């Protein structure tokens, strides 16, 4: 888990891929100069148009390329910073990490810096006085790399113009979130199956005393190694109850978890439990699907703010949230209890379908009062998810959310024509979620009618 999280953070940095490309440029310079040393005799006479360049001409060519690449790398960096600022102001600061982890942005920056380093290394090998050496292969390669760099510049301009569009950002966040769902919840529910535990859990021997395990540092919990916590609980023959889960912020010396028993936990227990948590300065989507939902919701709220009021972007956010919820509705999220031979060992604090559904809808609904387009889009979302859901408890959760959207529409939509349109859409949704509330070909019970 730690290695995977380290790799995720490494690939999200703005320096790793450029650093790899620069190392490749260094080895390329060494290789091309070595090739010149091997093939040098007679090349300038055999093919003078290609290899017959003097020392001064080689220096001038490489110096021009190096200077140009240095300037372009600065321009690329400036454009990237402007794009980050625009995305932060227009959409949400939470989407900045998507731009920083963009492989193309990292690669383009690395290519220009790499060409610059390549030219510098080849330039210092040119000797004119005494034993003359002109690395003609390396100089020709520098010219080819300059042409490749120009192609990267043209593509970068196109890429950055596309990447700051709302549709591109939403699709990127949705794709990352779907990958996180596949990793976090790999199992699929069978038709009619439910993965929650009902209220009858009286067989569990509940601990009567709890002792806190303090966090050793502050930060957002990026990942939790459930297997390590379960192993620690089995080894100590105790019950561990998580007080903080993935995506939550924990403060140093506050309870990270609780263990049963009258005595305070020893240093070894505190160390083992803290080692199962990975904390950092910010949340990441890769192992926290709720953060992907959070980003889409933030973009929708920003679009609905009075200074922007971009209804189309808010509706697009609900479309991509629909994609995520449809994937989630058939996934086994798992019960919060782990047992060993019938004895309770671990109580997990984590995401549930109800929590993720509420995260996706609640704040958008409360910020969309009076906005017919967004409210009807939320009803369409609930209908699409309900159509793919077979779990009765989850259908009840969808019904409660639909009732909340209808109540918001009833309170905030004054125009009779708009209310009639919402009623028509609601009737189709209620037919799936609450069939007994439909009366006649067009009638609805008072709970659903606005």
Could you tell me the residue ranges of all domains in the chain?
Answer: 2-164, 297-333+351-444
Q: Give the DSSP H or E segment for 430.
A: helix 416-433
Question: Cβ–Cβ contacts within 10 Å for residue 199, how many?
Answer: 5
| Overall pTM > 0.75 | yes
Where on the phi/psi map is residue 261: left (φ > 0), alpha (ψ -120 to 50), or beta?
left
Residue 382 near residue 429, CB atoms below 8 Å: yes
The 10s digit of each residue's pLDDT in 269-294 is 999 999 999 898 888 887 789 999 99
Task: Return all residues near 175 (Cβ < 8 A) that are at least 6 apart.
Answer: none
pLDDT, the chain, mean: 86
Q: How far is Cα 10 from Cα 32, in angstroms, rounded to an integer?
A: 30
Task: Return all residues near 70 (Cβ < 8 A) that are at least 6 apart.
Answer: 112, 116
Q: How far is Cα 185 from Cα 29, in angstroms, rounded to an integer?
A: 47
The β-bridge relationship of strands 438-439 and 443-444 is: antiparallel
**pLDDT confidence tier of residue 335, bands split at 50, 70 and 90:** confident
Taking only Cα atoms into account, the Rg of the chain, rounded to an integer number of angstroms, comes to: 30
Phi, psi of 346 (to 5 degrees): -145, 130
Unique residue bearing structure tokens 């993720």: 356
The 10s digit of each residue's pLDDT in 64-95 is 999 999 999 988 888 888 888 888 888 888 78
**Nearest Cα residue to 239 out of 355, 351, 333, 336:** 336
Q: How far is Cα 76 from Cα 73, in angstroms, rounded to an integer?
A: 5
**Nearest Cα residue to 69 out of 135, 157, 153:** 153
Residue 130 exposed, middle or buried by CB count within 10 Å (0-12, 13-18, 19+) = exposed
Task: Return all residues near 260 (Cβ < 8 A) that are at least 6 apart.
Answer: 207, 209, 210, 211, 238, 239
Average pLDDT over residues 301-312: 91
Tokens representing residue 201 in the block: 């859990």
Q: How far is Cα 136 from Cα 250, in angstroms, rounded to an integer?
A: 60
Residues in the chain: 450
The 10s digit of each residue's pLDDT in 307-316 is 888 999 999 9
Asked whether the predicted pLDDT for residue 47 surpasses 60, the reply is no
| Per-residue model confidence (pLDDT) at position 197 | 54
Q: Which residues pair with 139 in a beta bridge?
A: none
User: CA dist 111 to 21, 174, 326, Å?
Assistant: 7, 29, 40
């Amino acid at each position: 888990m730690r290695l995977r999280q380290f790799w995720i953070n490494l690939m999200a940095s703005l320096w790793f891929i450029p650093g790899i490309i620069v190392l490749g440029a260094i080895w390329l310079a060494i290789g091309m100069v070595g090739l010149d040393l091997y093939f040098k005799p007679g090349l300038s006479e055999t093919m003078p148009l290609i290899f017959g360049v003097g020392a001064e001409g080689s220096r001038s060519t490489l110096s021009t390329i190096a200077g140009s690449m240095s300037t372009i790398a600065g321009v690329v960096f400036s454009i990237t910073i402007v794009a980050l600022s625009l995305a932060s102001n227009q959409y949400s600061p939470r989407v900045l990490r998507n731009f920083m982890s963009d492989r193309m942005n990292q690669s383009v920056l690395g290519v220009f810096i790499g060409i610059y380093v390549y030219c510098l290394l080849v330039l210092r090998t040119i000797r004119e006085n005494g034993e003359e050496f002109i690395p003609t292969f390396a100089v020709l390669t520098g010219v080819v790399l300059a042409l490749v760099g120009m192609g990267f510049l043209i593509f970068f301009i196109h890429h950055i113009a596309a990447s700051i569009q709302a549709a591109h950002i939403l699709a990127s966040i949705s794709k990352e979130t779907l990958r996180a769902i596949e990793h976090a919840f790999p199992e699929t529910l069978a038709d009619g199956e439910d993965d929650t535990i009902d209220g009858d859990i009286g067989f569990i021997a509940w601990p009567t005393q709890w002792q806190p395990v303090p966090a050793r540092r502050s930060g957002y919990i990026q990942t939790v190694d459930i297997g390590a916590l379960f192993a620690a609980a089995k080894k100590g023959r105790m019950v561990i109850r998580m007080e903080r889960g993935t995506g939550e912020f924990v403060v140093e010396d506050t309870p990270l978890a609780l263990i049963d028993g009258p005595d305070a936990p020893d240093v070894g227990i505190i160390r083992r439990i803290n080692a199962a948590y990975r904390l950092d300065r910010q949340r990441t989507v890769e192992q926290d699907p709720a953060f992907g939902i959070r980003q889409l919701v933030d973009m929708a709220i920003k679009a609905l703010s009075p200074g922007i009021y971009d209804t189309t972007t808010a509706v697009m956010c609900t479309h991509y949230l629909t994609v995520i919820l449809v994937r989630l509705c058939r996934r086994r999220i798992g019960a919060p209890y782990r047992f060993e031979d019938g004895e309770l060992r671990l109580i997990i604090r984590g995401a549930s379908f109800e929590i993720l559904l509420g995260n996706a809808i609640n704040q958008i609904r409360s910020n969309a009062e009076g906005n017919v387009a967004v409210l009807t889009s939320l009803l369409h979302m609930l209908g699409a998810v309900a159509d793919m859901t077979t779990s009765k408890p989850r259908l009840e959760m969808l019904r409660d959310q639909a009732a909340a959207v209808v109540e918001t529409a009833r309170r905030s939509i004054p125009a009779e024509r708009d209310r009639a349109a919402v009623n028509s859409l609601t009737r189709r949704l209620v037919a799936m979620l609450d069939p007994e509330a439909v009366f006649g070909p067009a009638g609805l019970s008072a709970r659903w009618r606005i």
